[in-house]
């Protein structure tokens, strides 16, 4: 059954590539869309049916679209400005997995509904390794029909799928709250490692202690390894957390709710971006601390 099910994965970054490869591995007819020719070639070699820079080329073949792009603007541009939504067959399910505001998710869903298209508000987490293993965590909301239509994609890409409810925007809000924790954990980890550097503690030793003790977190273990290695090649960039913690702040503002830690973390990431590290790995937030020496590998290759 699955071989006759077709899905296009739009956005072949660190998460999107893993998700697309997981769809191929699960036997789904998988199409890949990105502007990066290297990513397209990688997915084609992995067994994608077709790849390209514009999903409209195979839109009439699709049962589902999985969007793993950066923000709501990119979702709207691809679906509506460039016309993908108009090219899809009625009843096609669009799984929007960018981290976006709840209001943006609702607006996108309404425009898709006008075209008789289904939407699942379905942000993802887990990092590149879990995406490649088909073991992402997906926090989703939407109609039962959307969940049902996307079941093969959910089965292929996720270890855990949380059905938050039928209301579009709930998935987005859960992800935003999750990003509050993720951003604060990275900022706190950077602060701890910066203090260790200032105190003359070898960072590899500090890293080993924390990752085997109660102060550890997934974000500390994953991101502070980059600091120890002096490698800031981005899998998730500083500017992503400027965006995501901005969404956290907007959500709290609408609810008139104070977020002292998230606000401080946002300022740290904004400071790092302002200092020129926006396209570096988000662990480069540690670069804003003065008077410390950090392991040096080399400046990462980043897209301008």
Mark whether 175 is an active-site residue: yes
Based on the fold, state whether residues 13 and 98 are members of the same structural domain: yes
Q: What is the pLDDT of residue 238?
A: 98
Based on the fold, state whether residues 236 and 96 are members of the same structural domain: no
Reported pTM: 0.93
Any idea what the CATH number is for the domain that residue 228 is in? 1.10.1040.10
Of 67, 70, 127, 76, residue with least CA distance to 95 = 67
Instruction: For residue 191, tell me if it sits in a domain.
Output: yes
Based on the fold, state whether residues 89 and 151 are members of the same structural domain: yes
Based on the fold, state whether residues 21 and 160 are members of the same structural domain: yes
Q: How many independent structural domains does the chain possess? A: 2
Asked if 200 and 265 count as a contact pair (C-beta separation under 8 A), the reply is no
Residue with tokens 């009843």: 91
Domain containing 259 equals: 173-288
Q: What is the pLDDT of residue 303?
A: 55
Based on the fold, state whether residues 155 and 232 are members of the same structural domain: no
Instruction: For residue 294, tell me if it sits in a domain.
Output: no
Q: What is the pLDDT of residue 297?
A: 78
Based on the fold, state whether residues 16 and 133 are members of the same structural domain: yes
Question: What Å distances lie between residue 237 and 50, 93, 135, 198, 241, CA to CA?
Answer: 29, 29, 22, 25, 7
Instruction: For residue 301, tell me if it sits in a domain.
Output: no
Distance CA 293, CA 154 (A): 44
Based on the fold, state whether residues 146 and 216 are members of the same structural domain: no
Based on the fold, state whether residues 163 and 218 are members of the same structural domain: no
Based on the fold, state whether residues 177 and 122 are members of the same structural domain: no
Instruction: For residue 299, tell me if it sits in a domain.
Output: no
Question: Mean pLDDT for each 10-residue chunk of the chain (304 residues)?
Answer: 83 96 98 98 98 97 97 98 98 98 98 98 95 97 98 98 98 98 98 98 98 98 97 94 98 97 98 98 97 86 58
Instruction: For residue 34, tell me if it sits in a domain.
Output: yes
Asked if 119 and 113 count as a contact pair (C-beta separation under 8 A), the reply is yes
Any idea what the CATH number is for the domain that residue 46 is in? 3.40.50.720
Based on the fold, state whether residues 38 and 181 are members of the same structural domain: no
Spot the catalytic one: 56, 130, 160, 175. Answer: 175
Q: What is the pLDDT of residue 235?
A: 86
Residue at which a domain ends, from 147, 168, 189:
168
Based on the fold, state whether residues 24 and 138 are members of the same structural domain: yes
Asked if 112 and 94 count as a contact pair (C-beta separation under 8 A), the reply is yes
Based on the fold, state whether residues 200 and 238 are members of the same structural domain: yes
Instruction: For residue 298, tell me if it sits in a domain.
Output: no
Structure tokens at 252: 């709290």
Instruction: For residue 59, tell me if it sits in a domain.
Output: yes
Residue at which a domain ends, from 104, 133, 168:
168
Q: Strand, coil or helix: what is 148? A: helix
* Terminal CA-CA length for the chain: 43
Q: What is the pLDDT of residue 202?
A: 98
């Amino acid at each position: 059954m699955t071989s006759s099910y077709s899905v296009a994965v739009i956005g072949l970054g660190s998460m999107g590539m893993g998700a697309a490869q997981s769809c191929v591995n699960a036997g789904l007819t998988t199409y890949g869309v990105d502007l990066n020719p290297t990513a397209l070639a990688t997915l084609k070699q992995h067994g994608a049916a077709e790849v390209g820079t514009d999903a409209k080329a195979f839109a009439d073949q699709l049962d589902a679209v999985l969007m793993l792009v950066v923000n709501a603007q990119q979702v709207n541009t691809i679906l509506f400005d460039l016309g993908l939504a108009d090219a899809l067959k009625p009843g096609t399910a669009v799984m929007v997995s960018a981290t976006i505001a709840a209001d943006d998710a609702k607006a996108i869903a309404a425009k898709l509904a006008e075209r008789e298209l289904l939407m699942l508000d379905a942000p993802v987490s887990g990092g590149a390794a879990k995406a490649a293993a088909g073991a992402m965590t997906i926090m989703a909301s939407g109609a039962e029909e959307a969940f049902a239509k996307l079941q093969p994609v959910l089965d292929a890409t996720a270890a855990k799928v949380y059905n938050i409810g039928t209301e579009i925007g709930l998935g987005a809000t859960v992800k935003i709250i999750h990003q509050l924790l993720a951003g604060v954990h990275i900022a706190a980890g950077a602060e701890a490692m910066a203090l260790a550097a200032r105190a003359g503690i070898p960072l590899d030793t500090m890293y080993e202690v924390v990752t085997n003790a109660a102060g550890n977190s997934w974000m500390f273990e994953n991101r502070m390894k980059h600091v120890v290695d002096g490698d800031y090649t981005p899998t998730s960039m500083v500017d992503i957390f400027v965006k995501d913690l901005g969404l956290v702040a907007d959500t709290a503002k609408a609810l008139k709710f104070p977020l002292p830690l998230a606000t401080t973390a946002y300022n740290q990431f904004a400071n790092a971006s302002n200092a020129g590290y926006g396209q570096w790995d988000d662990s480069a937030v540690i670069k804003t601390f003065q008077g410390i020496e950090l392991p040096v590998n080399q400046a990462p290759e980043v897209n301008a």
